[in-house]
Structure 1
Amino acid sequence: MLYNAKYDLMKHRRKFFGISIAITVIGIVMMLIFGLNLGVDFKAGTTLDISTGGKAIQQSQAVELVRSAGLETATPPVVGGAAGDRVTLRFDKVLTTQEIDQIEASFKTAFGDQISKEENTVDTELAKELALKAIYAVLIASLGIMLYVSIRFEWRFAVGAIAALLHDAFMVIAIFSIFQLEVNLPFVAAVLTVIGYSINDTIVIFDRIRENMRFAKVKTFDDLSQIVNRSIWQTMTRSINTVLTVLIAAVLLFVMGSESIRLFSLAMIIGLISGMYSSIIIASPIWLVLKSKTLGANKKAAA
């Protein structure tokens, strides 16, 4: 069984810390260079959803129709719908009524009067408000988790859990920055979902560590390290199965899903892999390092 594995994860904790720190530094540098490709949800702009009434439309055709109205989309048009008769157009500025009418006239010329449209406009103030609320949502979720773990376990577990959560969220953000993938509200939903799955894995490992600590006589750092290592391997099968179940669904959505949920699925894939890694390689070793400092204090107290 996996918990009988002899590979000592805690023995190599410094190497794993070094890898994580290196990835984090690279991600920070990339974010400073490239920034984030904010979608219309987080910056002023207009989104138009146009239905052609059952007639299929190609992406290149949609581009030409928009250009014929004297405009350019901020991102390539996204074609969807059961019959491929729906296209989403995103602009990085707030369109005037005249510009929207020009686009509608272009589509009517190509597809007839049966077309319909839905308009979604985000002004500058609303975009700033949405961006701030997205940041607040992540921070509030993190603080709530820290409070729960502190009460349910102890503050050392909470420090390890939050470090792992921030690592997971940052990995997703950094990769989206490097490849300039669009950051929108579904992206925020994906990050919050990833945080939930990550803390779930972390709590399972922490709970096993606590159970093993009840029946152990810990005198040295090696004793503590063995408990953490054994706890990780005892829960490894469960962690792998849980992540694989959700990961398969996320991959299928990414491959077979529509364009509107593809980036959400990609963020989930990155976060799930990072979440399992951080629960094992970041959260648990951090608790080990913090807890080991109490061993010396206990000895002094006993003396």
Structure 2
Amino acid sequence: MHYKWQFDVVKYRKYAFSFSIAITILGILFLMIFGLNYGVDFKAGTSLDITAAQSIDKAKAEQIFHDAGYEATVTLGGDNNTRATTRLDRVLNTDEINTIINQFKQAYGDNIVHEENTVDPGIARELGLKAIYAVALSSIGIIIYVSIRFEWRFAISAVIALLHDAFIVISLFSILRLEVNLTFIAAILTIIGYSLNDTIVTFDRIRENMRFSKTKTFEDLSKLVNDSIWQTMTRSINTVFTVFIATILLLIMGSESIKLFSLAMTFGLISGVYSSTFIAAQLWLLLKRNSLKRASAAPVKN
């Protein structure tokens, strides 16, 4: 599809790089100062979901926890706010949980159903390490795959773009103080997959156009990259927009347990379509420019 309003993407690469660097620095500062708001999956504690037959008042529920000796922030959910969810930094034993449940029964009747999830310190550390391993191994696999299918310049550019997308989402969760749990890790890995798919499509078109072009100068290479981006723009927009609609609907209409997953996916999709256009392709262009310079500087053999 030919866009009448298309612009020279390559021309604005320095602005894109500056924007990404600024976001990265801001994210690093927030992570160093505030860190991440880890959920119970990555630190020792107990998660409680309490469901009543009637609507639960948030202030009253938090007062029940306060009276039991815990400072808790309660999130309401379910039909007519009949479910109260909280995360406690302490591992509660059976007696402590029963004390809280009995208080809720006194306030909202005997028809109380509860679900508890407890993570001890050892499991929390293990989950954290496995999450890091999952992201690291996926990045290594991507480097190997893209290097075999394309070349090392494509591989390096793709991985930097993917790490850029993951870090953008991590930074936003740190800045907004959103909870990081196992669904967040699932969202990061899913974002990497979607971003890689979009990047590979653009790279595939660049490689195809390289076969039928005679790029001798950086200007020729820039035009090829810009044309390749716009030739795949329709597919990228359609793919991202379709998934974007699904994530927005899940964010608005989904249950409380998947809202953070949907929010992370929303952030990641926006970052992914941006990085495949303004980061990955532009990084490859800069790496390829160095090879053109070496080729032009090489002495001509008689």
Query: Structure 1 residues 3, 159: closer, same or farther in 2, change over 3 A?
Result: farther
Q: Does residue 201 of the first structure (1) align with residue 198 of the second (2)?
A: yes
Tell me if the contact between 2:49 and 2:115 (Cα under 8 Å) persists in the aligned partners: yes
Structure 1 match to 2:50:
50
Tell me if the contact between 2:169 and 2:264 (Cα under 8 Å) persists in the aligned partners: yes
Tell me if the contact between 1:48 and 1:88 (Cα under 8 Å) persists in the aligned partners: yes
* Alpha-carbon distance between aligned partners in 1 of 2:139 and 2:99, rounded to the nearest angstrom: 46
* Alpha-carbon distance between aligned partners in 2 of 1:137 and 1:208, rounded to the nearest angstrom: 29
Structure 2 match to 1:39:
39
Tell me if the contact between 1:187 and 1:263 (Cα under 8 Å) persists in the aligned partners: yes
Report the more deviating stretch, 8-17 or 165-174: 8-17
What is the deviation of 1:6?
5.3
Tell me if the contact between 1:187 and 1:264 (Cα under 8 Å) persists in the aligned partners: yes
* Alpha-carbon distance between aligned partners in 1 of 2:259 and 2:11, rounded to the nearest angstrom: 39
Tell me if the contact between 1:251 and 1:265 (Cα under 8 Å) persists in the aligned partners: yes
Q: Does residue 68 of the first structure (1) align with residue 86 of the second (2)?
A: no
* Alpha-carbon distance between aligned partners in 1 of 2:264 and 2:25, rounded to the nearest angstrom: 20
* Alpha-carbon distance between aligned partners in 2 of 1:2 and 1:269, rounded to the nearest angstrom: 28
Tell me if the contact between 2:6 and 2:230 (Cα under 8 Å) persists in the aligned partners: no
Structure 1 match to 2:11:
11
Q: How does 1:214-293 map to 2 (within 5 A)?
A: 214-293=211-290
Q: Structure 1 length normalisation: TM-score?
A: 0.93
What is the deviation of 1:269?
1.0
Q: Structure 2 length normalisation: TM-score?
A: 0.94
Question: What is the identity, as a one-letter code, of the residue corresponding to 1:179?
Answer: L
What is the deviation of 1:258?
2.6
Query: Structure 1 residues 264, 11: closer, same or farther in 2, change over 3 A?
Result: same
Question: What is the identity, as a one-letter code, of the residue corresponding to 2:181?
Answer: N
| Selected match of 1:142 from 130, 139, 142 | 139
Question: What is the identity, as a one-letter code, of the residue corresponding to 1:223?
Answer: D
| Selected match of 1:104 from 101, 105, 114 | 101
What is the deviation of 1:260?
1.9
Identity %: 60
What is the deviation of 1:161?
0.3
Question: What is the identity, as a one-letter code, of the residue corresponding to 1:100?
Answer: I
5+ long unaligned stretches in structure 2: none
* Alpha-carbon distance between aligned partners in 1 of 2:246 and 2:300, rounded to the nearest angstrom: 54
Report the more deviating stretch, 224-233 or 108-117: 108-117
Report the more deviating stretch, 124-133 or 81-90: 81-90
1:189-234 C-alpha deviation (Å, 9 max, x unpaired): 1111111110011000000001100100111111111110100011
Query: Structure 1 residues 137, 186: closer, same or farther in 2, change over 3 A?
Result: same
5+ long unaligned stretches in structure 1: none
* Alpha-carbon distance between aligned partners in 1 of 2:4 and 2:150, rounded to the nearest angstrom: 26
Q: CA RMSD in A?
A: 1.7
Query: Structure 1 residues 292, 4: closer, same or farther in 2, change over 3 A?
Result: farther
Report the more deviating stretch, 64-73 or 40-49: 64-73
* Alpha-carbon distance between aligned partners in 2 of 1:99 and 1:253, rounded to the nearest angstrom: 35
* Alpha-carbon distance between aligned partners in 1 of 2:4 and 2:295, rounded to the nearest angstrom: 30
Query: Structure 1 residues 11, 36: closer, same or farther in 2, change over 3 A?
Result: same
Q: Does residue 27 of the first structure (1) align with residue 27 of the second (2)?
A: yes
